[in-house]
Amino acid sequence: MTDNNHRPVARIAGTGHASGTRVLTNFDLERMVDTSDEWITARTGIKERHLVENGTVTSDLCSDAAKQALADAGLSAENLDYIIVGTVTGDMKFPSTASILQSKLGAYNASTFDISAACSGFIYGLDIADSLIRSGRAETILVIGAEVLSSMTNYQDRKTCVLFGDGAGAAVVTRSDDDRGILSTHTGSNGDLAHLLYCDGGGSLKPAMNRDLPFEDFTLRMNGNEVFKHAVRIMDHAALTALEKAGISPSDVDMFIPHQANIRIIDAMAKRLSFSRDRIMINIDRYGNTSTASIPTALNEARLAGRVREGDVVLVAAFGGGFTWASAVFRM
C-alpha cells in the first residue's frame, strides 16, 4: 500500500486510446462456443469486444494511444522522461513493451519499464508517475495501460472467452501549476488470491520450452465466481480509500470511472457509493474487459464526449489478478 497526497503536483495533461479493429459480437461467439447473447448480456453487460488483427501487437496499440495523448497535451515524444506501460500481454517476454514503444515514438530521453499489475496496472503507473514528479525526478511521464488479451484467451472456454477485448489507453502526466491534478492515489495487493486469476505457462514455473505442457497453460484462467465475490468489496474499499485520502466524499465526484469487468460489479458499486448512472462512465458493452486498458480508454472517451471537462473531479478504481487493486482521485 502506498500513502501520499496533499495538493496536486502532477496532472493528466492529455489522453488517448486505441482498440482492436476486429469486432467480435455476442452473436459471433454463439457460433464458437455454447453461449448466447442473452446470457452474456445479462451476466456481464458485454455486447461486443474489439480484437486486434493478426500481426498487430501491444506496442502498436500503445503507439496509437500515446500519439493522441501527446498531441492532446501539446507535447512531443522528446519531452518524455519516463514511459510506463502496464500490461500482462506485452509484445515479448523482454525487452519491455515500454522500450519497444520508446523506439516507435522516438522518445529517446525517456527511461522505460513495464508494470505487471493486471487490471490495476494503469493506476499503479499513475501512482508511480505522481511520485516521480512529486520527488522532482521527472517532469513528464507517459502512462499506458495496454493489453492484447486475445493472445492468451482460450476461445474454446466459454467461461472466459466472452469477457475480454484488446485495447490501450494513455495519459501524459506533467507537473501541475494550478489546482488541477492528482489529489490522491491508493494501491494494494493480496497475493493469497493469485490462484483465482492467472496464466501460469511460459514463465519459470512452466517454461514454454516444455513441449508436454497443455495449450490451456498458456491461456488466461479464472475462477470467475470467486473473483466476483471479492471484486465489489475490494473496489469499494479502494474507491473509498482514495476519496478519504483526497478529503472528499462521493458526492464531490463529477465522474466515477470503474474498471470495466462486469456491469453487475459496476452497478453494485454504484449502489453502495450512491452514484447515479449519469456520473458513471460505462463502455463495457462495446469493449468487454480490456484489463488495464479499460480505465484510460473510458477516461479518454468520457473527455471526447464532453462527459469529463476541465476542472471536473474524477474517481477511478480497479482490481485484478494478483489480486491487485488501485484507485485515484484527480481534478482534470
The answer to whether the beta carbons of residues 183 and 331 sit under 8 Å apart is yes
Rule CB under 6 A: is residue 155 a binding residue for ligand UT7? no
Question: Can 119 be counted among the known catalytic residues?
Answer: yes
Tell me whether residue 225 or residue 251 sits nearer to ligand UT7 (CB atom).
225
Tell me whether residue 37 or residue 312 sits nearer to ligand UT7 (CB atom).
37
Rule CB under 6 A: is residue 119 a binding residue for ligand UT7? yes
Tell me whether residue 42 or residue 71 sits nearer to ligand UT7 (CB atom).
42
What part of residues 245-264 is at the interface with ligand UT7 (CB under 6 A)?
A: 261-262
| Cα 127 from chain centroid (whole Å) | 13
Rule CB under 6 A: is residue 230 a binding residue for ligand UT7? no
Least distance between ligand UT7 and beta carbon 228 (Å): 4
The answer to whether the beta carbons of residues 266 and 280 sit under 8 Å apart is yes
Question: Can 289 be counted among the known catalytic residues?
Answer: yes
Catalytic residue among 5, 62, 119, 199: 119
Catalytic residue among 5, 26, 289, 300: 289
What part of residues 39-78 is at the interface with ligand UT7 (CB under 6 A)?
A: 39-40, 43-44
Residue 48 β-bridge partners? 25
Least distance between ligand UT7 and beta carbon 137 (Å): 31
Residues near 69 by beta carbon (within 8 Å), at least 6 away in sequence: 14, 15, 16, 142, 170, 171, 172, 300
Q: Which of 22, 104, 134, 158 binds ligand UT7 (CB under 6 A)?
A: 158
The answer to whether the beta carbons of residues 294 and 260 sit under 8 Å apart is yes
Rule CB under 6 A: is residue 35 a binding residue for ligand UT7? yes
d(CA 61, CA 58): 5
Dihedral of the alpha carbons of 16, 67, 97, 122, in degrees to the nearest 10: -20
> Of 98, 79, 87, 262, which is closest to residue 173 (Cα–Cα)?
79
Q: What does the DSSP assignment read for 6-31? A: SS--EEEEEEEEEE-SEEEEHHHHHT
Rule CB under 6 A: is residue 324 a binding residue for ligand UT7? no
Size of the site for ligand UT7 (CB under 6 A): 20
Least distance between ligand UT7 and beta carbon 132 (Å): 27
Residue 239 has which C-alpha cell? 474507491
Rule CB under 6 A: is residue 162 a binding residue for ligand UT7? yes
The pair phi, psi for residue 189, each rounded to 5°, is -150, 155
Q: Which of 90, 201, 258, 320 binds ligand UT7 (CB under 6 A)?
A: 320
Q: Which of 10, 231, 273, 298 binds ligand UT7 (CB under 6 A)?
A: 231
d(CA 191, CA 296): 25
Rule CB under 6 A: is residue 224 a binding residue for ligand UT7? yes
d(CA 14, CA 263): 27
Tell me whether residue 295 or residue 313 sits nearer to ligand UT7 (CB atom).
295
Question: Can 79 be counted among the known catalytic residues?
Answer: no
Q: Is the peptide bond before 218 cis (omega within 30 degrees of 0)?
A: no
DSSP 8-state class, residue 88 = S
Least distance between ligand UT7 and beta carbon 97 (Å): 19
Which residues contribute to the site for ligand UT7 (CB under 6 A)? 35, 39-40, 43-44, 119, 158-159, 162, 224-225, 227-228, 231, 261-262, 265, 289, 291, 320
Looking at the annotation, which residues are catalytic?
119, 259, 289
